[in-house]
Amino acid sequence: MISRLVLASLRRRFRQLALILAAVMVAAATVVTLAGFSSRAAKQLGEGLSAFGPNLTVRPQVGGPASLPPEVLRRVRQIPGVVSAAGAGLDRIDVRADPGRLAEVARAVETKIEGVEAAPLRRVSESDARLTRRLTLLLAAVSAVSLLLALLSVGAATAALVGERRTEIGLFLALGYTGRRVGIFLAAELLAAAVLAGALGELLGELAAGSLAHWILGAGGRLSLTWGGFAAAALVATLVVGSSMLMALRRVERLDAARVLRGD
Amino acid sequence: MPLVEVEALSRRFGSLRALDDLTLTIEQGEWVAVTGPSGSGKTTLLNVLSGLDRPTSGRVRVGGVDLSGLSARELSRYRQRTVGLVFQQFHLIPYLTAVENVMLAQYVHSMTDRAEAEEALRRVGLAERLDHLPSQLSGGEQQRVCIARALINQPPLILADEPTGNLDAVNEAVVMSLLADLHQRGHTLILVTHDPSIAVRAGREIRLEHGRLAHVEQPGDLELQGVLAELWQAIEEDRTGVSVTRRGVAALLSGGLLAFADGRIAFTERGRAQALAMVRRVRLAEVLLARTLDRGPSEECGREAPVAAGFEDQVCAFLDHPGVCPHGRPIPNGAACCASIPAAQQVLELGV
C-alpha cells in the first residue's frame, strides 16, 4: 500500500519533486566535485612534486664532518613524508618532502640521523600548500553555497508540498494514522527522490571533478565512480532532505485536522 | 450504559464559545441528528466526539473511555477502532482508485484486504466503479466510497457531517438510505445537518444554538409519518391487524391527520395527503435503490428511508415515473405525473 501511495503521489507531484530532485542533485554534485577534485589534485600534485624541485636541504651540522656518508642518503629516503632525495654532493642532500608535512619531516631527519641538520626551503613549500589550499577553499565555498541553496529550496518545496496536502494529511489523521506515520509516508516520497538525486549527483560530480582536474591540472580527467563519492552524495541528500523532513514533520504534528477537513 | 456521554462540555476558540456547558447522552444503536444554525457548534461537537478536537473543559466518554484523558497516540487508536467519519466534501485521495481509498482505512491497521474492500463497495452499489478515480465518479458515488471507507473497519460509532450537503436529490436519497441501513444494522449514527428533511429521519434531534442545547426533539415527525404510511399500506392490503403504536395514532389524532367519528378512525383530507406523499416517497426510494445499487427489493415493503421531502418529483422524473415499487405495489402519482391517484385509494377508512 505504501509503495502504491508513494508511486501515485510521485507521479502526481512530479514538478515539486523534480524541483527537490534538482536541488539535491546540484548540491550533491557540487560536494562530489569538491571531493573528487581535491583527491585528484592531491594525487596530481603529489605525482608532480619533483617538478617543483626540492623543498628541504640536509647538511652536516656545523662543527661536524665536512661531508655526509652515503648511508645518510638511504636513511633520509626511509623517513615518512619524503618523496625523493638526491645527493648533489656529499656535503648536501636535496629532499622533496610532502609540502604539508615539511616541518615534521625536517624534525624527523634531525632526530633520526645524528650529526645533520635539515632546513626547509620555505618559499617553494608554501607555494605548493597555498595552491592546494586555495583550490580547496574555493570548492568548499561553492559547495557550502550550493548546500545552503539546496537546504532553502528543498525546505521551501517540502513546506509547499505539505501545505498543498493539508487536506490529505488531515484525512490520514482523521482515519486514525498517527502524525509520525503520516510523516513516514511523506519521507518515503522524499527519500525516493533523494536516492535518485544522490546517484545522479555522484555521476555529475565525478564528471565535473574529472573535467576540472583535466582543465586545471592537465591530467586526471578520467571518470571514476567511487564509494566515497557515493557516500558524500548520500550524506548531502540525507542532510538536505532530512532537515526538510524534520520541519515538515513538525508541521504535520501541529496540523489541526478538524479545521483542515472543515475547509478552514 | 449510553455509548456517548457528554458532561458539561465546553470548547472555546479564544473568546468564542463554540460549545458551552453541553450535557447529553446517546444510546448504543441510536440515530441522532444534530441540527442548528451555522456557528452553533454542530461540527465542533462532532470533532470532539471523533477525537480530532479536545474539549476546553468538561468530559466526553465514548464506550466508557474518557477522551479528554487520552494522549494524541491514544486518540489515533480510538479513531481507528471506534469511529467512522463521513464528510460533506468526501475527502477521497484523488490519485487512488475507489477500492484503494477504502483500503486506505484498512491500512491504518497495517494490513489490507482487497476482497473485503471490494465487497464494501459492492454493498454501496459501486461494483462497477472499483478501479475508478474519484474524478471519474459522481458526487453521490464519491460519498458512497466515503461511506464504504467509514464502515470498512466496522466502527460502532458513525459520525456524519452534512453527508448530503453536496448532493442532488437522487443521490441524497441513496446516501440517506445507506445511512438508514447502517442504523438498522446496529451502528450508532450521529448526523450533523441543517436540513430539517434530513433531521426528521433520525430517531432523535439535538438542536444546538450558541453552543448550548436549545431543544431536544422527542421521536416525532418521522415516527408519525411511518405510522401514516403503515396505516395506508394496511388499507391497501385490506389488512385488519395494523402494527402501529398507540402513541403514534394518538399523536395523529391530536394533530388532525386522523379523525375519530362514529366508532371509526379515518384519514382526514390532510392526513390522507400526507400518507400518500409518504407512501410515494418510500416507494420511490425503493425503486431508486433497487436500480441504483443494483440490488433486489428489501424483504418488506415500506422499510426503506423515504426520499427527501420536496425532492420526490425530481426523483420520480429521474426514474421515469415508475408505476409500482419493486414489491409490485402502486406508487401514488404526484403533481408532475400524468395519471391521477387510483380510484380505489380515494376513500380510505379504518375500522376500530
Give A118-176 pLDDT, tens digit per residue. 988 766 556 666 766 777 788 788 888 888 888 888 888 888 888 888 899 999 999 99
The three grid cell numbers given for residue B295, joined into one nine-digit string: 440490488
Which residues of chain A have a CB within 8 Å of the CB of B107?
Answer: 1-2
Q: How many residues does chain A have?
A: 264
Note whether residue B348 is domain-resident: no
Note whether residue B352 is domain-resident: no
* Domain span(s) for CATH 3.30.70.100 in chain A: 55-120
Q: Which amino acid is at B126?
A: L
User: Band of the pLDDT at B299, cuts 50, 70, 90?
Assistant: low
The three grid cell numbers given for residue A202, joined into one nine-digit string: 555522484
What is the pTM for the complete model shown?
Answer: 0.67
Computed on alpha carbons and rounded to an integer, the radius of gyration of chain B in Å comes to 22
Q: Is A257:A48 a contact under the CB 8 Å cutoff?
A: no
Q: What is the pLDDT of residues B198-226, one digit of tens each?
A: 787 787 888 898 889 885 545 456 666 77
Compute the C-alpha angle A234/A238/A242, nearest 5°.
175
Q: What is the pLDDT of residues A75-104, one digit of tens each?
A: 998 999 888 888 756 688 888 888 778 889
User: Band of the pLDDT at B331, cuts 50, 70, 90?
Assistant: confident
pLDDT over 90 at B68, yes or no: no
Q: DSSP letter for B52, please.
A: S
pLDDT over 50 at B345, yes or no: no
Looking at the structure, do residues B148 and B226 belong to the same domain, yes or no?
no
Looking at the structure, do residues B290 and B151 belong to the same domain, yes or no?
no
User: Band of the pLDDT at B338, cuts 50, 70, 90?
Assistant: low
Closest-approach residue (CA) in chain A for B45: A258
What is the rounded distance in angstroms from the CA atom of residue B156 to the CA atom of residue B52?
17
Q: What is the pLDDT of residue B221?
A: 60
Note whether residue B193 is domain-resident: yes
pLDDT mean over B262-290: 81
- Dihedral angle sign, alpha carbons of residues B193, B199, B204, B207: positive
Q: How many CA atoms lie within 13 A of B269 on its CB side?
A: 0
pLDDT over 80 at A107, yes or no: yes
pLDDT over 70 at A47, yes or no: no
Inter-chain CB proximity A177 and B94 less than 8 Å: no
Which residues of chain A have a CB within 8 Å of the CB of B95?
Answer: 8-9, 11-12
pLDDT over 50 at B341, yes or no: no
Q: What is the pLDDT of residue A251?
A: 84
Q: What is the pLDDT of residue B350?
A: 44
Which residues of chain B have a CB within 8 Å of the CB of A262?
Answer: 43, 47
Distance set, CA B7 to CA A94, B21, B40 (Å): 95, 8, 18
Beta bridge partners of B5: B25, B61
Looking at the structure, do residues B63 and B182 belong to the same domain, yes or no?
yes
Q: What is the pLDDT of residue B236?
A: 75
Q: Of A62-66, A184-188, B155-159, B188-192, which gets the smallest average pLDDT?
A: A62-66
Helix (H, G, I), strand (E, B) or coil at B171: helix
Looking at the structure, do residues B43 and B176 belong to the same domain, yes or no?
yes
Domain holding B196, by residue range, is: 4-217
Inter-chain CB proximity A8 and B96 less than 8 Å: yes
Which residues of chain A have a CB within 8 Å of the CB of B158?
Answer: none
Looking at the structure, do residues B247 and B262 belong to the same domain, yes or no?
yes
The arrangement of secondary structure in A55-120, i.e. its CATH architecture, is: 2-Layer Sandwich (3.30)
Q: What is the pLDDT of residue B337?
A: 74
What is the rounded distance in angstroms from the CA atom of residue A143 to the CA atom of residue B264?
97
pLDDT, averaged across chain A: 81
Residue B261 sits in a domain whose CATH number is 1.10.10.10
Closest-approach residue (CA) in chain B for A254: B72
Report the gap between the CA of B101 and the closest CA in chain A (Å).
10
Looking at the structure, do residues B213 and B226 belong to the same domain, yes or no?
no
What is the rounded distance in angstroms from the CA atom of residue A67 to the CA atom of residue A10?
76
Which residues of chain A have a CB within 8 Å of the CB of B105?
Answer: 175
Report the gap between the CA of B134 and the closest CA in chain A (Å).
14
CA dihedral B170, B171, B172, B174 (to 10 degrees): 100
Chain B residues bordering chain A (beta-carbon distance below 8 Å): 43, 47, 50, 52-53, 72-73, 76-81, 83, 85, 87, 89, 91, 93-96, 100, 103-105, 107-108, 112, 149
A240: nearest Cα among A13, A18, A21: A21
Note whether residue B350 is domain-resident: no
Note whether residue B84 is domain-resident: yes
Looking at the structure, do residues B203 and B226 belong to the same domain, yes or no?
no
Kindly state the percentage of chain B with pLDDT values over 70.
85
Looking at the structure, do residues B9 and B142 belong to the same domain, yes or no?
yes
Note whether residue B349 is domain-resident: no
pLDDT mean over B2-25: 91
Looking at the structure, do residues B204 and B278 belong to the same domain, yes or no?
no
Looking at the structure, do residues B145 and B208 belong to the same domain, yes or no?
yes
User: Band of the pLDDT at B351, cuts 50, 70, 90?
Assistant: very low
Note whether residue B147 is domain-resident: yes
Looking at the structure, do residues B121 and B266 belong to the same domain, yes or no?
no
Of residues B34 and B334, more confidently modeled: B34
Q: What is the pLDDT of residue B130?
A: 93
Residue B58 sits in a domain whose CATH number is 3.40.50.300
Note whether residue B227 is domain-resident: yes
Looking at the structure, do residues B80 and B192 belong to the same domain, yes or no?
yes
Kindly state the percentage of chain A with pLDDT values over 70.
88
Q: Of A86-100, B163-177, B290-304, which gets the smallest average pLDDT?
A: B290-304
Q: Could you give the number of structural domains in chain B?
A: 2
